[in-house]
Structure 1
Amino acid sequence: MNLLNKLFHRNRNPSDKQNTQRVEVMNGSPPIFTPFSGDAYSNDLYRSAVDSIAKNFSKLIPSHVIMNGEQRKDGDSVLNYILQSRPNPYMSTFDFLYKVSTHYFLYNNAFAYLSFDDKGSLEAIYPLSPLQVEFLTDATGALYCKFLFSRGKTFIFRYDDVMVLRRFYNSNDLLGDDNRAIMPTLDLAHTQNQGMENSIKNSAQIRGLLKYNQVLSGEKLKESKEAFINDYLSIENNGGIAALDTKMDYQPIENKPVFINGQQLNEIKNRIYSYLGVSENIVNCTYSEDEWSAFYESTIEPLATQMGQELTNKLFTQREQSFGNSIMLESDKLQFTSNSTKVTALKELMPLGLLTINQALKILNLPGIENGDTRYQTLNVADTDIVNQYQMKGGNNNAGEQGNQVSRNQDGQGTGQQE
């Protein structure tokens, strides 16, 4: 049994393959995915940018959570182990997220197979690298994905068993658009690299013509040329002067290779980075807190939201979702801020009782302590209900005191009148 057959031993094919047909979409474009990239991953700029995104996306923590109003609690421990530790026997969570996000930004479509056991519980998630994907439907209207792998291996899965992530989701109803828009820029970047390489090679090309005023045999001509080079064009010729008689004339050839200026290089680099939603500082790991926050919110967080919603819909029924079951991919953004920002945040949050001691230590990249899961807060902060009760009690006392004062005044006035 090969690896594909082992992975997909519960291959859920439609009951009657003869009755399946290609899905007809509204815009008329064929629902077929082919990972066309124009070999974009071989471009160093494109690859480094995708690698930076994938590495940062892989830091996220996918979790099954149950929301009950504003209350949140952890979900199924087995499911969380699969999501957070070992999505499948061959990958860690980091590897899984890295591969999925790489496919997402390289092909604008990413697929993963959700393998369920006989009881319907998730047992593994496998990212897929197909040569082609075709969407099919049967007589009942159920949707299927037909995957073609290398060596002609074909598997058909229910659409509900496949995680599908799309980028540039525009012209096709079921797939994201390809990367043809960036290919001219990648071709130009390749031309630049070739131009610089050729410019370096030009230094070894012909630098002059040596014309003899007499007829020489081929062997004598070659010997005379080598002697001229050794005497006058070698590094040992410190004077830089050649002495010639009437037997020969030397005519230098001026080579002026065309170099691409730095502004043009930066322009192409920025176009590639902008296409992928990343900046040069992110790629070079020289970003500031504001740059990291902008990158996270514009590039990492949208993919995390999309993946969380897709897994939620594929792993839980509508009823289960109504009870608050969902998959979330989260990151502690304070972990990527400076120490001064962390300390400032802790000074503001700890007095309010929003963090436990161990949570604060984790933000500072320090190990937890025993009994560190308790929350402490300053006495200057009170519960809203307690404050309301205190104010109401104080108001009644003030009213009573005013009433007593009025009564005393009245009694005093009465006493004075009687007197």
Structure 2
Amino acid sequence: MKEKRSFFGMIFGREQQQPQAQQYTQMQMMNSSPTFYDFTGDGYDSDTVRGTVDGFARNVGKLKAKHIRRVNGKIGPPTNDDIEWLLSVRPNRFMNAYIFYYRLATQFLMTNNVFVWIRRDAMNRIEGFYPLNSACELLEHQGEMYVRFRFYDGKTYTAPYYDIIHLRRFYFNDDMWGESNRKALNPILNLISITNQGIGNAVKSSAFIRGILKFTSMLKPDDMKAQTDKFQADYLTAANSGGIAATDAKAEYQELKNDPKMIDDKQMNAMEDKVYSYFGSNKDIVQSSYDEAEWGAYYESMIEPFAIQMGLEFTYKIFTDGQQGHGNEIIFEANRLQYASNDTKIKVVESLVDRAMMSINQGLEVFNLPPIEGGEKRIMSLNFIDADKANEYQLGKVSKAAAPPAPKGGEEQNDDGNRGGGDDNRPLDSDV
């Protein structure tokens, strides 16, 4: 019979190659806050929050990870592209790159702390990157910092902090953790929830008849209750789809006007805007109805800062000091022109291709067109020339060796040395 393995075991394995648990001591912080971080993402149950977070996460998911080397101010390709393949195609066995970054972005907004465990083999080579959702605490062992993760099924795993990519938001009070969303976000979420419940109750109450049944004759309390229950069962339920009640001379029905108070659109939008503002977004981003300027502002204020933080943290935790000293770096970039208007795309592509700053295939990518054979070649318009050479030409500093021989005798010279009264300081032909 095939042995069953838990998801925990598939990621972490059966045994941990690390010191025994009793050898750890709790990490002491400079402030008085606890070293225990409680993972929580309760606000994700709100449709407003979930839509806002999704608007951020689905755009972060389109970021492209690149492993580069900066040498003498120039960017070159790395000698080994295994890391780039992991980060740009398949960070781990269970996630493609889009889903991986989508989840990191979601955790970033919902918990303000992102933990990614770097799994290494026996040769210390990176096998994968795994985002972890769990409570955790900081420990110390022999001068090194460790993180113990406590999962919901009771299992724990302890890893050195240098193998944990840790991203933070709202980083203020605690020495290590980002602040919780509970105190800041829960009041407005509770108000939105109460409002939605009130709207639902108002719709339900409007479907029923409400009133007072006044009996015209004296009845015993038991008989009055029996008549009331019968009237209610016959007419004051959803089964009375006609909305009409009938009485005889024994009773008189007086209707009570049902006028539920409901919040208007302006107030509801104001509450939702508070949620959007908390997450640095707006309704146009959530509903994908943004224009070029709105997208640019959103990218620079939310996506780009997150990409910068990821690049810095991934670089530091993936590469050794020596590798970083040789220029190895992880960056995350996005094709922002994808969201520009067609007029802007045309102008930018024309300018960059003419100046050999963009290849043909890069220009096609801007318009979501497939690459072509030989499209990586860069072309340049002849209307442009090296600035130094242009200055030499227009200032008359042409090499004497390249100048034509002077004619013998009889030909006049003008004051500036040009023969025949001509003007060699003519404007530069733009096509040369």
Q: Which amino acid in structure 2 is aligned with residue 92 of structure 1?
A: N
Which of 65, 90, 100 is matched with 1:86 structurally? 90
Corresponding residue for 2:61?
A: 58
Deviates more, 1:289-298 or 1:116-125: 116-125
TM-score by length of 1: 0.87
Which segment drifts farther, 70-79 or 83-92? 70-79
Task: Tell me the equivalent position of 1:184.
Answer: 187
- Asked if structure 1 preserves the Cα contact closer than 8 Å seen for 2:116 and 2:131, the reply is yes
Of structures 1 and 2, the one scoring higher in RCO (CA 8 A, sep 6+) is 1
- Which residue in 2 is equivalent to 1:363? 366
* RMSD, aligned CA: 2.9
Deviation at 1:161, TM superposition (A): 0.7
Shift in Å at residue 258 of structure 1? 1.2
With over 3 angstroms needed to count, the CA separation of the structure-2 counterparts of 1:12 and 1:327, relative to structure 1, is farther
Residues 49, 221 of structure 1: alpha-carbon distance in 2 compared, 3 angstrom cutoff? closer
Please report how far the alpha carbon of residue 214 of structure 1 lies from its aligned counterpart in structure 2 after TM superposition: 1.7
Q: Percent same amino acid among aligned pairs? A: 34
> Does the 8 Å CA contact 1:169/1:175 hold for their aligned counterparts?
yes
TM-score norm. by structure 2 comes to: 0.84
- 1:95 and 2:89 correspond: no
Partner residue, 1:147? 149
CA distance in 2, matches of 1:47, 1:167: 18
Aligned position for 1:47: 50
Counterpart of 2:389 (choices 379, 386, 403) is 386
- For 1:313, the aligned partner's letter is Y
Aligned with 2:12 (options 8, 12, 17): 8
The residue type paired with residue 168 of structure 1 is: F
Distance 1:202 1:123, change over 3 A: same
1:200 and 1:313 map into 2 onto residues whose CA distance is 56
Q: After TM superposition, list the pairs within 5 Å mapping 1:343-358 onto structure 2.
A: 343-358=346-361
Unaligned runs of 5+ in 2: 407-411, 419-432
Structure with greater proportional helix content: 1
Cα distance change of structure 1 residues 222 and 368 upon mapping to structure 2, 3 Å threshold: closer
Instruction: State the one-letter code of the partner of 2:124.
Output: G
C-alpha displacement of 1:116: 1.4
**Alpha-carbon offset, residue 234 of structure 1:** 7.0
Which of 36, 42, 53 is the equivalent residue of 1:32?
36
Per-residue CA deviations over 1:9-48 (Å, capped at 9, x if unaligned) read 39765435433211111122112110134x2110000011
Matching residue within 214, 217, 227 for 1:214: 217
- How many residues align? The count is 398
- For residues 22 and 133 of structure 2, the distance between their equivalents in structure 1, rounded to whole angstroms, comes to 26
Tell me how far 1:388 sits from its aligned partner. 4.3
| Change over 3 Å in CA distance of 1:275–1:378 after alignment to 2 | same
Q: Could you tell me whether the CA contact under 8 Å between 1:13 and 1:158 is conserved in 2?
A: no
Q: 1:7 to 1:228 in 2, by over 3 A?
A: closer
Q: Does 1:123 align with 2:127?
A: yes
Structure 2 match to 1:417: none
Deviation at 1:7, TM superposition (A): 1.3
The question of 1:195 aligning with 2:198 is answered yes
What is the deviation of 1:219?
Answer: 5.5
Aligned partners of 2:116 and 2:129 also within 8 Å: yes
Structure 2 residue 149 is the aligned partner of structure 1 residue 161: no
The secondary structure found in structure 1 opposite 2:369 is coil
Shift of 1:392: 5.8
**1:333-348 alignment, distance < 5 Å:** 333-348=336-351
Question: What secondary structure does 2:114 align onto?
Answer: strand
The alpha-carbon deviation at position 220 of structure 1 amounts to 5.7
Q: Counterpart of 1:372?
A: 375
